[in-house]
């Protein structure tokens, strides 16, 4: 690797050619603050928080976009730099709604932290016109408060570049510039797919999920309700971040203990329903292969992806698996089979899903999600990882010091295949484990399908299973999904089975996960670190194939009969409809 020699704050360093000053400082162990910068998607140098001095340069330069050169001398903490950053923060605060005491991002707000670091007082240094905006809460899953927006455009980049959707952007010019939808439409009236990637990109409280925890607290306090909770696969490796644990720490046991202390009647695992999804999905795939069904079959576990398909690629709706997502399958089973076993009226069962995804809030309100009958939703409330963390804090639970507990049975029994659902490629690998056994009529020794693992944008593989040549593709992030779908439409690619997840990296990087500051996003791969925890969980399980789950076997024996049965379709499957983009 070619290197250049530079000095930062008087100390010599050798750094790779082509590095920006921000990257060079990182190599040197020096932190330069940023606000607008997100590596690879929002490198616009607009906020001017990262400015530094370069000896010989006339003006301060933006470290995030300014390349290093041989012999360059850089000052990152001079009085001139500090004064510039402080002045910029004062300008930002002059139009910022400073309701920090009640803001959902209090304590994790990047603007708040910088103002504290640079000793910016809570005064309005620059007084003048201050435009006020109405909060847009028309979307099912989130709200937007432009009074807290700092125009960093990170949300815009996430929507347009990561997801390829672009339903938000800067409107007007000059002092009146603000983030909004085209023609000032409400967010609930445009083709937003509810993924929430704009939320995890936002450095302030300008965008956040709608908090549904009051509904959960109300249900927990109602003695007539049997309140049960399910936790998605990825939650166990992300919840710890909300309590300052290392990224990717598996906190399953503490999570279960915390949920019990919150007062849930039973604590169950969505991994159980992930196993159930695989059994139904593998059955559906084999049926399509043998009987000439629509191929490639495309997974339907990610509600953000499903909504994207309905809005932007309705021609692929026949290719979607008809299986409900694991969250919805769990709720459907809870209010049918489980209700019968427990002698409960489905109307009295209140199901809470703890999910990594804001689109899950939208999903609970989709049509055809009421297996127990009209008016009885499969899942009553979906909350994000962040909302659960707030509930734990509000209850005064010392999460880090909790003992480990185990999920309740039977809906808490799962295999390793269910665990990896939270990572891109996990659904495909879990399905391959079951489909391979069923197609060969035996027990395949190959458990790990390494080719579909990892965070590459698009992964392809061909497997020979029995007499079948199976061509698969895996992708995550909707901009990548578009590439895959276009390649299929053009005939360039031919696949039999495609896994698509709405969020880049899969559920571990969902829009409902703990918010990390830009400095973490820029220099650590959250997707890989979190996914590693799920693969470790899988490797440690005694059972690693979904169809081997004894609780799933019991469910079919007692209730559904066999995978793909008429009753299974009534309870576990759904349909999709084209949605308008305008």
Q: What is the pLDDT of residue 445?
A: 82
pLDDT digits (tens, 9 = 90+) for 66-111: 999 999 999 999 999 999 999 999 999 999 999 999 999 999 999 9
Contact 234, 513 (CB under 8 A): yes
Domain ranges of the chain: 3-93, 110-209, 214-572
Q: How far apart are CA 174 and CA 163, in angstroms?
A: 27
Q: Pick from 42, 46, 65, 47: which is nearest to 161 by CA?
A: 42
Q: How far apart are CA 485 and CA 309, in angstroms?
A: 10
Compute the average pLDDT of residues 298-323: 97
544 pLDDT above the threshold of 80: yes
CA distances to 11, 26, 58, 110, 147 from 63, in Å? 17, 11, 15, 18, 28
Q: What is the pLDDT of residue 65?
A: 97
Q: How far apart are CA 68 and CA 423, in angstroms?
A: 36
SS (H, E, C) 175-206: HHCEEECHHHCCHHHCCCCCCCHHHHHCCCCC
178 pLDDT above the threshold of 90: yes
Mean pLDDT computed over every residue of the chain: 96
Q: Pick from 271, 337, 274: which is nearest to 300 by CA?
A: 274
In the structure encoding, which two tokens stand for residue 528, read together?
Answer: 């890989």
pLDDT digits (tens, 9 = 90+) for 10-36: 999 999 999 999 999 999 999 999 999
Q: How far apart are CA 530 and CA 511, in angstroms?
A: 14
Q: Pick from 403, 360, 426, 388: which is nearest to 239 by CA?
A: 388
pLDDT digits (tens, 9 = 90+) for 483-507: 999 999 999 999 999 999 999 999 9
Cα-only R_g, the chain: 25
> Which letter, b or e, does each residue of 483-514 get, where b requires 16 or more Cβ atoms within 10 Å of its Cβ?
bbbeebeeeebebbbbbbbbbbbbbbbbbbbb
Classify domain 214-572 at the CATH topology level: Rossmann fold (3.40.50)
Contact 356, 531 (CB under 8 A): no
| Alpha-carbon torsion (215, 217, 223, 225), positive or negative | positive
Classify domain 110-209 at the CATH topology level: Alpha-Beta Plaits (3.30.70)
Contact 514, 385 (CB under 8 A): yes
205: left (phi over 0), alpha (psi -120 to 50) or beta: alpha
- Label residue 130 by pLDDT band (50, 70, 90): confident
Q: What is the pLDDT of residue 490?
A: 98
Q: How many residues does the chain have?
A: 582
From first CA to last CA, the distance across the chain in angstroms is 50
The pTM score is 0.96
SS (H, E, C) 527-554: HHHHHHHHHHHHHCCCCCCHHHCHHHHH
- Label residue 125 by pLDDT band (50, 70, 90): confident
Pick the CATH number of 3-93 from 3.90.550.60, 3.10.20.740, 3.40.50.410, 3.40.50.970: 3.10.20.740
Q: What is the pLDDT of residue 124?
A: 64
Q: Pick from 144, 123, 151: which is nearest to 186 by CA?
A: 144
């Amino acid at each position: 690797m070619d290197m250049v020699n530079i000095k930062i704050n008087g100390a010599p360093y050798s750094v790779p050619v082509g590095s920006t000053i921000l990257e060079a400082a990182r190599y040197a162990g020096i932190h330069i603050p940023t606000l607008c910068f997100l590596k690879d998607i929002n490198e616009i140098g607009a906020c001017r928080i990262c400015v530094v001095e370069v000896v010989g340069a006339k003006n301060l330069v933006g470290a995030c976009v300014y390349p290093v050169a041989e012999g360059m001398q850089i000052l990152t903490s001079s009085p001139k730099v500090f004064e510039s950053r402080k002045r910029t923060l004062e300008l930002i605060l002059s139009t910022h709604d400073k309701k920090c005491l009640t803001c959902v991002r209090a304590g994790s707000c990047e603007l708040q932290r910088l103002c504290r670091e640079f000793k910016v007082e809570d005064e309005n240094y620059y007084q003048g016109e201050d435009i006020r905006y109405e909060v847009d809460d028309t979307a099912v899953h989130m709200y937007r408060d432009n009074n807290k927006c700092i125009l960093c455009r990170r949300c815009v980049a996430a929507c347009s570049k990561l997801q390829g959707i672009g339903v938000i952007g800067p409107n007007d010019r000059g002092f009146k510039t603000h983030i909004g939808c085209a023609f000032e439409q409400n967010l609930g009236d445009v083709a937003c797919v509810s993924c929430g990637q704009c939320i995890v990109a936002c450095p302030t409280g300008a965008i956040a999920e709608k908090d549904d925890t009051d509904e959960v607290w109300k249900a927990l306090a109602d003695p007539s309700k049997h309140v049960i909770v399910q936790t998605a696969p990825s939650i166990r490796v992300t919840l710890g971040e909300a309590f300052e644990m290392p990224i990717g720490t598996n906190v399953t046991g503490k999570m279960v203990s915390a949920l019990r202390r919150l007062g849930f009647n039973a604590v169950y695992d969505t991994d159980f329903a992930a196993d159930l999804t695989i059994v139904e999905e593998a059955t559906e795939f084999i049926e399509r292969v043998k009987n000439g069904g629509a191929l490639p079959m495309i997974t339907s576990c990610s509600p953000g992806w499903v909504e994207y398909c309905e809005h932007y690629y309705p021609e692929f709706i026949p290719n979607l698996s008809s299986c409900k997502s694991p969250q919805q399958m769990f709720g459907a089973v809870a209010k049918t089979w489980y209700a019968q076993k427990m002698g409960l009226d489905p109307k009295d069962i209140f199901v809470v899903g703890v999910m990594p995804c804001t689109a899950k809030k939208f999903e609970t309100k989709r049509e055809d999600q009421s297996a127990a009958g009209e008016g009885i939703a499969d899942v009553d409330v979906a909350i994000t990882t962040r909302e659960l963390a707030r509930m734990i804090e509000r209850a005064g639970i010392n999460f880090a010091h909790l003992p480990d507990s185990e999920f309740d049975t039977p809906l808490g029994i799962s295999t390793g295949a269910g665990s990896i659902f939270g990572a891109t490629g996990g659904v495909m690998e879990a399905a391959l484990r079951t489909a391979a056994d069923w197609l060969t009529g035996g027990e395949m020794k190959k458990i790990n399908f390494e080719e579909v693992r990892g965070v590459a944008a698009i992964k392809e593989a061909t497997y020979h299973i029995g007499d079948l040549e199976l061509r698969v593709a895996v992708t995550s992030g909707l901009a990548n999904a578009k590439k895959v779908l276009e390649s299929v439409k053009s005939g360039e690619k031919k696949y039999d089975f495609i896994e698509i997840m709405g969020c880049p990296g899969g559920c571990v990087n969902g829009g409902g996960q703990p918010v990390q500051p830009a400095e973490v996003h820029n220099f650590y791969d959250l997707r890989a670190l979190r996914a590693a925890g799920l693969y470790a969980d899988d490797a440690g399980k005694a059972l690693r194939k979904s169809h081997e789950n004894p609780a799933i076997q019991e469910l079919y024996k007692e209730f559904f009969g066999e995978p793909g049965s008429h009753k299974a379709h009534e309870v576990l499957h759904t349909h999709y409809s084209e949605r308008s983009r305008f």
